[in-house]
A and B are shown apart, each in its own frame.
Chain A
Amino acid sequence: MSGALFELLLRGLRGRLVRRLRLLRQPKYLVASLAGLAYMLFFVGRNFLIWGRGARRPGIEVAGLGDRAPLVLLGAALALALVTTLGWLLTSSRPALRLTEAEINLLLPAPLPRRKVLEFALWKQQVGVLFGALLFSLFRGFGAPGTRLPRLFATWALFALVGLHLKGVSLWKARLRELPPAAARWRIGLALLLAAAWWTAVGAGLRQLFVATRIDWQAGDLITNLDRLQVAAHAGFFGWLLAPFAWLCGPLLGVHRLRGALFAAALLAAHYEWVVRSRARFEDATVAQARRQLDRRTSRPAFARLSARSRQREPFHLAPTGSAETAVYWKNLLLRSRRPLAQTTGLLVGVCVVLGALGLAFGAALDAPDAFAEILVIVGVVILLLIPPLAGLFLRNDLRVDLLQIEILRPWPIVGWRLVAAELLAPATGALQMMLAGAGLVLAGAAAAWLAAGGAAPDFLQRIAAPIGGTWPGLLAVLASLLVVGLPIALLSIAIQNLAALFLPGWVGLGLERQRGAALTGQRILVLLGHVLSLALGLLPPLLAVGAALLLQRLLGLPWSPWELPLIALLAAALVLAEVGVLVRLGGALWDRLDPARELLETPE
């Protein structure tokens, strides 16, 4: 990279740092920074800082995994191989460098070789990648003092390598579009042939492994079988094929340190040259991406391709008069989809019915009536349990989009807290739809299993609904309870994220989509940590209340009734909703006081 570009990189980093440090002039940012720093020092970083006493949290060491270590390493290697393959399949053929509009206007017309521009874009990402690697290492444990730096390097190398590899694949695909069709076909054919040969060899290796160890999973002892499997896997053809991936994963698990570091360094250098020597055109996609960033795009590109009829669809009919909050809700629903809400619900019901029918058909065809149905039920339960706490992290059609449009919203005749309340409704609707889909899957699976069993309650249904009798009414009560308590928890999760965006807008990534890329790993870890802590704090009072109610019942000697579950869910839901109400009022006050001139209201680069 040339001296001028290095200077630009340094000054750009300094500028970003200064802009964020200036936020610390505001007491709220200063206090939040100190609190975050204190947390990191006392709960996460103490093992790292106390060099003399050694690490208390060694992290995941292969040695700590006992006899299963080689198998874990091969599993990690196989997962990395799978991710790499998926990268080849899914990476876009329109490579976009992460450059700002200003950088494009300055650098692309400048008399610079394209290699320099590519190098600038790559190096610009590395600070974020390094920060992400540092945080990742801190949270998963740094290990013993002597291993800390190598482990940090290994983590950074893996993150950077994945980023470089995907960029290289994207440029390679873009280059194919520019080549004569025959040449492009030849290269694609070669790549497919190599991939197919490698995976065939891996498949053959796996088969050979299982045959060689003659494992009878149904009858044999699991521990003995695993021992035999891993010895054979590590020494055989299978292990040899996965060795490069294992060397990359090894340092993260505390093995292959030197070999892994050398291999990662060599691969990084090779990838770097592969990317910067690419002759593929990246300019169009880069300009388009920067334009999207500049325009603070909130819509999906698909919107622009909608037909005239689709453009006239709306989630529900918005009458010209009535509560202003409904207009905000309607507008935010449009951020995700123009499909009418009733149609979406009908679609969900239809999908669940079809899956239930498929479950029944597969069960009958495979002579395993419960197999597919049980999978449906498990997936449904997982959705019901995971969506509420995580809704705030991935459903973002709320203030996190509208803060970028504060110029439009601020003059609207609507009180702050009512606006904040209205902003929560659209993502909560999305969460509710997903939870209903989860409940639908459970019902579809249960119905399929019930029909397959000729009307008898299947075993797994009895297990799931065991707390209240293992019956159909019991199952319905469990589902109703999960929905009753799940929706308020989803609202709380969304409210926490919106409050964070209002309180510290300069720190929260705004926009509809979460930003992608290894460079933002660190930020994502911090956001997830803050979210989990806040949510845990928020759920503590309802849990205590429920515990107190159950304790009181026990002390009074009252008998347990299965139908208490929905009542308990209602008690918890009421308390969570009360907390959401407090957060909404607080958010309203923050909205009224928010001074856009003193904040950094922007999507992260």
Chain B
Amino acid sequence: MIEIANLVKTYDGFAAVDGLSLHAAGGEIVGLVGPNGAGKTTTLRCLAGILPPTAGRIAVAGHDLETEPVAARRQLAFVPDEPRLFDNLTVADHLKVIGRLYGVADAAERSRELLAGFDLADRRDAFPGELSRGMKQKLMIALALLHRPAALVLDEPLTGLDPGAIRRMKRTIVEQAQAGAAVLVSSHLLHLVQEICGRVVIVQRGRKVLEGTLAEIRSALPDLGADADLEEIFLRATEGEEAKAEGASGPPAEPGDGRGDG
């Protein structure tokens, strides 16, 4: 459902993403992790069609993002790390616009379900300025789910949510995958990634360092214990890469857009 092949994104000669390839099949939840400046957010923003890639191919549900952008975007939903909403549109207005853009015939009924599910039913007529950050995040997720996307891309989806909402969010992600969607999640909350993701991709300096299920990764790092969790694996993998990169020059963080950390 999500195919990224040899993705390159450069900013004034600096490669924020450098030949990254990954895929997520329908029904699969893939975790994208990496230290700050690793290129996670840039990768997701390229996948969402926000940033044009410098090189490489991105496909969503079999549609190439370059040659069939509309068909590809119709199958995709993207939840950015910062909830970005139209200040002059109410919660209900947002759902109406997105419903029409994606041609959701039962938008009214589905909007009611989603608002109830995310505890926003009594905030239908509120403007974003009247919502807390967590509520805005919930609305972003509701908007993403409105058109039943085949591919769901989430950048730090739990930021700003209260414990109850975090639990519901995790359940929602799993339900989307169970319904057949390919889910790609980027997060620094490694326990979340370990808990819900079937496969993990660790990136650093714009390149893939490790990929596989937790068991596969553990076997690739035999000096780690069989019960090593993702945090240990992550630190080991990225520290190892740091050591390799010692002496190599290059900007420490991803420049250009100043948004996101990855």
Q: Interface of A with B (CB < 8 Å)?
A: 25, 295, 297-300, 303-304, 308, 311-312, 314, 318-322, 324, 326-328, 330-331, 334-335, 405-408, 410-415, 592-598
Bound CA–CA A227/B254 (angstroms) = 72
Q: Evaluate contact between B100 and A322: CB separation under 8 angstroms.
A: yes
Q: Evaluate contact between B70 and A413: CB separation under 8 angstroms.
A: yes
Q: Evaluate contact between B102 and A413: CB separation under 8 angstroms.
A: yes
Which B residues touch A321, using CB under 8 A?
100, 103-105
Bound CA–CA A596/B257 (angstroms) = 7
Q: Evaluate contact between B76 and A411: CB separation under 8 angstroms.
A: yes
Bound CA–CA A595/B53 (angstroms) = 9
Which A residues touch B70, using CB under 8 A?
413-415
Q: Evaluate contact between A411 and B257: CB separation under 8 angstroms.
A: no
Q: Evaluate contact between A407 and B101: CB separation under 8 angstroms.
A: no
Q: Evaluate contact between A308 and B125: CB separation under 8 angstroms.
A: yes
Q: How far is the CB of B1 from chain A (nearest CB, A)?
A: 16
Q: Evaluate contact between B100 and A297: CB separation under 8 angstroms.
A: no
Q: Evaluate contact between A320 and B106: CB separation under 8 angstroms.
A: yes
Bound CA–CA A88/B201 (angstroms) = 63
Q: Which of B49, B100, B104, B130 contacts A411 (CB 8 A)?
A: B49
Q: Evaluate contact between B104 and A410: CB separation under 8 angstroms.
A: no
Which A residues touch B89, using CB under 8 A?
331, 334
11 interchain pairs, CB-CB under 8 A: A295-B87, A303-B87, A304-B129, A311-B125, A314-B93, A322-B100, A407-B259, A410-B49, A413-B101, A596-B51, A598-B11
Bound CA–CA A303/B70 (angstroms) = 33
Q: Evaluate contact between B107 and A320: CB separation under 8 angstroms.
A: yes
Bound CA–CA A324/B80 (angstroms) = 22
Q: Which of B42, B97, B105, B129 contacts A327 (CB 8 A)?
A: B97
Which B residues touch A408, using CB under 8 A?
84-86
Q: How far is the CB of A334 from chain B (nearest CB, A)?
A: 6
Q: How far is the CB of A186 from chain B (nearest CB, A)?
A: 39
B52 CB–A CB distance under 8 Å: yes
Question: Given known contacts A322-B103, A408-B84, what 12 new A-B pairs fall within 8 Å (CB)?
Answer: A295-B129, A300-B88, A311-B90, A311-B127, A318-B100, A320-B108, A321-B105, A327-B101, A331-B86, A331-B89, A408-B85, A413-B101
Bound CA–CA A485/B11 (angstroms) = 45
Bound CA–CA A314/B93 (angstroms) = 9
Which B residues touch A308, using CB under 8 A?
125
Q: Evaluate contact between B257 and A597: CB separation under 8 angstroms.
A: yes
Which B residues touch A25, using CB under 8 A?
12
Bound CA–CA A326/B127 (angstroms) = 21
Instruction: State the 5 A-B residue pairs at the shortest beta-carbon distance, nearest first.
Output: A299-B88, A327-B100, A597-B257, A320-B107, A413-B73
Which B residues touch A314, using CB under 8 A?
93
Q: How far is the CB of B104 from chain A (nearest CB, A)?
A: 6
Q: Evaluate contact between B256 and A312: CB separation under 8 angstroms.
A: no
Q: Evaluate contact between A298 and B101: CB separation under 8 angstroms.
A: no
B102-139 to A contact mask, C-beta < 8 Å, 1/0:
11111110000000000000000101011000000000
Q: How far is the CB of B156 from chain A (nearest CB, A)?
A: 14
Q: Evaluate contact between A597 and B87: CB separation under 8 angstroms.
A: no
Q: Evaluate contact between A407 and B100: CB separation under 8 angstroms.
A: no
Q: Evaluate contact between B97 and A597: CB separation under 8 angstroms.
A: no
Which A residues touch B92, using CB under 8 A?
312
Q: Interface of B with A (CB < 8 Å)?
A: 11-12, 42, 48-52, 69-71, 73-74, 76-78, 80, 84-90, 92-93, 96-97, 99-108, 125, 127, 129-130, 256-257, 259
Q: Which residue of B lies closest to A297 (CB)?
A: B87
Q: Evaluate contact between A324 and B100: CB separation under 8 angstroms.
A: yes
Q: Evaluate contact between B99 and A320: CB separation under 8 angstroms.
A: yes
Which B residues touch A299, using CB under 8 A?
87-88, 127, 129
Which B residues touch A411, using CB under 8 A?
48-50, 73, 76-78
Q: Which residue of A lies closest to B90 (CB)?
A: A311
Q: Evaluate contact between A335 and B88: CB separation under 8 angstroms.
A: yes
Q: Which of B50, B76, B102 contacts A407 (CB 8 A)?
A: B50
Which B residues touch A592, using CB under 8 A?
69
Which B residues touch A328, using CB under 8 A?
101
Q: Evaluate contact between A595 and B125: CB separation under 8 angstroms.
A: no
Q: How far is the CB of B66 from chain A (nearest CB, A)?
A: 10
Bound CA–CA A304/B92 (angstroms) = 15
Q: How far is the CB of A341 from chain B (nearest CB, A)?
A: 16
Q: Which residue of B lies closest to A307 (CB)?
A: B125
Bound CA–CA A52/B160 (angstroms) = 67
Which B residues touch A327, using CB under 8 A?
96-97, 100-101
Q: Evaluate contact between A597 and B93: CB separation under 8 angstroms.
A: no
Bound CA–CA A311/B128 (angstroms) = 13
Q: Evaluate contact between B49 and A414: CB separation under 8 angstroms.
A: no
Residue of B73, B86, B93, B96 with most partner-chain A CB within 10 A: B86
Q: Which residue of A lies closest to B147 (CB)?
A: A413
Which B residues touch A406, using CB under 8 A?
50
Bound CA–CA A407/B82 (angstroms) = 10
Q: Which residue of A lies closest to B110 (CB)?
A: A320
Q: Evaluate contact between B125 and A405: CB separation under 8 angstroms.
A: no
Given contacts A295-B87, A299-B88, A407-B80, contact A334 B73 (CB under 8 A): no
Residue of A319, A406, A594, A595 with most partner-chain B CB within 10 A: A595
Which A residues touch B51, using CB under 8 A?
595-597
Given contacts A320-B106, A411-B78, contact A298 B125 (CB under 8 A): no
Q: How far is the CB of B209 from chain A (nearest CB, A)?
A: 24
Q: Which residue of B lies closest to A402 (CB)?
A: B86
Which B residues touch A304, using CB under 8 A?
127, 129-130
Q: Evaluate contact between A324 and B125: CB separation under 8 angstroms.
A: no
Bound CA–CA A583/B77 (angstroms) = 30
Which A residues touch B80, using CB under 8 A?
407
Bound CA–CA A411/B104 (angstroms) = 16
Bound CA–CA A408/B140 (angstroms) = 10
Which B residues touch A415, using CB under 8 A?
69-70
Bound CA–CA A408/B80 (angstroms) = 9
Q: Which of A410, A414, A597 contacts B11 (CB 8 A)?
A: A597
Q: How far is the CB of B146 from chain A (nearest CB, A)?
A: 10
Which B residues touch A324, using CB under 8 A?
100-101, 103
Q: Which of B71, B97, B102 contacts A318 (CB 8 A)?
A: B97
Q: Evaluate contact between B78 and A405: CB separation under 8 angstroms.
A: no
Q: How far is the CB of A357 from chain B (nearest CB, A)?
A: 36
Q: Which residue of B lies closest to A601 (CB)?
A: B257
Which A residues touch B69, using CB under 8 A?
413, 415, 592
Q: Evaluate contact between A414 and B101: CB separation under 8 angstroms.
A: yes
Q: How far is the CB of A23 from chain B (nearest CB, A)?
A: 12
Q: Evaluate contact between B96 and A318: CB separation under 8 angstroms.
A: yes
Q: How far is the CB of A308 from chain B (nearest CB, A)?
A: 6
Bound CA–CA A111/B51 (angstroms) = 43
Which A residues touch B88, using CB under 8 A?
298-300, 303, 334-335
Which A residues touch B74, using CB under 8 A?
413
Q: Which of A335, A414, A596 contacts B50 (CB 8 A)?
A: A596
Bound CA–CA A170/B29 (angstroms) = 57
Which B residues touch A295, using CB under 8 A?
87, 129
Q: How far is the CB of A328 from chain B (nearest CB, A)?
A: 8
Q: Evaluate contact between A330 and B97: CB separation under 8 angstroms.
A: yes
Bound CA–CA A413/B107 (angstroms) = 16
Which A residues touch B259, using CB under 8 A?
407
Q: Which residue of B lies closest to A25 (CB)?
A: B12
Given contacts A412-B101, A413-B70, contact A407 B86 (CB under 8 A): no
Which B residues touch A595, using CB under 8 A?
51-52
Residue of A295, A415, A594, A597 with most partner-chain B CB within 10 A: A597
Q: Which residue of A lies closest to B66 (CB)?
A: A592
Bound CA–CA A598/B256 (angstroms) = 6
Bound CA–CA A413/B48 (angstroms) = 11
Q: How far is the CB of B159 from chain A (nearest CB, A)?
A: 15
